[in-house]
Structure 1
């Protein structure tokens, strides 16, 4: 699977995003990458110190600065250490085969005119228990890994296609704490900047879902919540070119892209990369007690009980 078929960029995309963070002059991003490499090697509590240059470049771009990139890597390694079962993916196709029958995650190949990428999660089967939903989150994090390695876009619109979902069942198995934790991992560990969250469903129960989200989303993010009872309003906001055919767009269907993404995430290259990233852990005996208590107080050893502000 050619990565360029799934993750397309415009000719000037990289230069535009570098200028946005003040690193658009020749040699500036390369200098920042070298400084980040040096900082990583100076951290005695990091178990992994070798990262692909593109991963580091994307981390800097999505963080917005070198200093924030350092904090993002620190948080990523810490979360991996405290929540090994949430990360720790070895083989996507084998580990998630049963949930992929009930839903799909994709990103659209084309980026919008504002250099934003569109991520779409669809539920088209029965979600019968919370552990199944947890694995949906875990699968979604695989996209975070892959895109940090192959993309340079940090701004996203998230679309949740719930037209075929049983909203009553979905609400019953939804854990607000897990939702908050997933959102934290997405924004703090992967550096995603969410420009819009769109739900497509005719069910009036979406208001109950929004009530849950509003418990932990900041006011600015609450304003970016959108409910679409049909695909028409979604198309008006996003544009046909940036949506799959089954959501009113002119792009490839969700199913077509889903199959391609499963193959890409299950490839030998991706599997090796995921396994290498599983080594990005913290040796707590080498990190200062003050730093641990101040930055990560309240962390427990599992996804279901972890609390992150």
Structure 2
């Protein structure tokens, strides 16, 4: 993707890449390359993985988004390939007309601790065509992040979000388990009393770790305690472009010929579950064959 288009969607702090590598124990490029090579060798040994030639740069991002752990990276990589196999409909092109009532964007500027913010504003909670196109969009955006971003974790902001709980849980599985993004916080902006009931059900369906990171805000000012207001869009008291412009920039990046051609190639990285050696559960968790833990949890 052209640098100009990419710069409209995401930016980095001046020390982001080196900071995150050092945070996970990769003070030198040699140590980072060693971790990537271990992951490559493990992939080659997995009979159920259909394609085994992922780019080293991509695998390096998988390790970074797995908090520097090669063992976690094995599981995340395997899960993403498995999701593409079991839920292929999530990885098909989406129809923009079916999600026009939602503005979704990645804030270009990061927080000072190198977190990326995803912001979604829903203007109409009715989805006549269902939620599938939204989840197609979100899967595509996650692949974009996995490929181009370099962040410490994600901060997710929903400006009053309401959807089918079962579908939300499915999508969290893709974002958290498949792509391995660390969700630092989920922030919901709402003054509706119904949000309390929604929150009770949602927390029961999520892991305790993620459930503890959900915050409800009845006014925008309390959000500033978690996300600097200056990096937020104009509508939220910030200095960034409007959410409509940021959403349009993201859509343009995802629809670009370069990214679409690349995204289509990622669909080939799937699994053939018939060839998965179910007797080697330990191996799937990285406890058999090539083993080494790099970085910290």
With the length of structure 2 as denominator, give the TM-score of the two structures.
0.88
Q: Which residue of 1 aligns with 2:65?
A: 62
Q: CA separation in 1, counterparts of 2:102 and 2:83?
A: 26
Aligned-pair CA distance for 1:6: 1.6
User: Structure 1: 5+ residue runs without aligned partners?
Assistant: 296-309
User: Which segments of structure 1 move beyond 6 Å, counting only runs of 4 or more?
Assistant: none
- Tell whether 2:236 aligns with 1:269: no
- Tell whether 2:114 aligns with 1:125: no
| Mapping 1:169-208, distance limit 5 Å | 170=162, 174-208=163-197
Is the deviation greater in 102-111 or in 25-34?
25-34
Higher relative contact order (Cα pairs below 8 Å, separated by 6+ residues): 2
Q: CA separation in 1, counterparts of 2:127 and 2:116?
A: 30
Q: CA separation in 2, counterparts of 1:246 and 1:288?
A: 52
Q: Could you tell me whether the CA contact under 8 Å between 1:14 and 1:152 is conserved in 2?
A: yes
- Tell whether 2:35 aligns with 1:8: no
Q: Could you tell me whether the CA contact under 8 Å between 1:246 and 1:253 is conserved in 2?
A: yes
Deviations 1:227-246 (A, max 9, x none): 11221211243111221111
Q: CA separation in 2, counterparts of 1:222 and 1:42?
A: 36
Which residue of 225, 236, 242 corresponds with 2:231? 242
Q: Which residue of 2 aligns with 1:286?
A: 275
Q: CA separation in 2, counterparts of 1:60 and 1:236?
A: 30
Q: CA separation in 1, counterparts of 2:218 and 2:21?
A: 37
Q: CA separation in 2, counterparts of 1:113 and 1:96?
A: 35
Q: Which residue of 1 aligns with 2:87?
A: 83
What SS does the corresponding residue of 2:65 show, helix, strand or coil?
helix
Q: CA separation in 1, counterparts of 2:27 and 2:55?
A: 21
Q: Which residue of 2 aligns with 1:48?
A: 51
Query: How many pairs align?
Result: 281
Which residue of 134, 139, 142 corresponds with 1:141? 139
Q: What is the alpha-carbon root mean square deviation over aligned residues?
A: 2.2
Q: CA separation in 1, counterparts of 2:154 and 2:233?
A: 16
- Tell whether 2:77 aligns with 1:73: yes
Aligned-pair CA distance for 1:102: 0.9
Q: Which residue of 2 aligns with 1:301?
A: none
Q: CA separation in 2, counterparts of 1:272 and 1:128?
A: 28
With the length of structure 1 as denominator, give the TM-score of the two structures.
0.84
Q: CA separation in 1, counterparts of 2:55 and 2:121?
A: 31
Q: Could you tell me whether the CA contact under 8 Å between 1:154 and 1:191 is conserved in 2?
A: no
User: Structure 2: 5+ residue runs without aligned partners?
Assistant: 285-297
Q: Could you tell me whether the CA contact under 8 Å between 1:33 and 1:56 is conserved in 2?
A: yes
Q: CA separation in 2, counterparts of 1:41 and 1:201?
A: 48
Aligned-pair CA distance for 1:198: 0.7
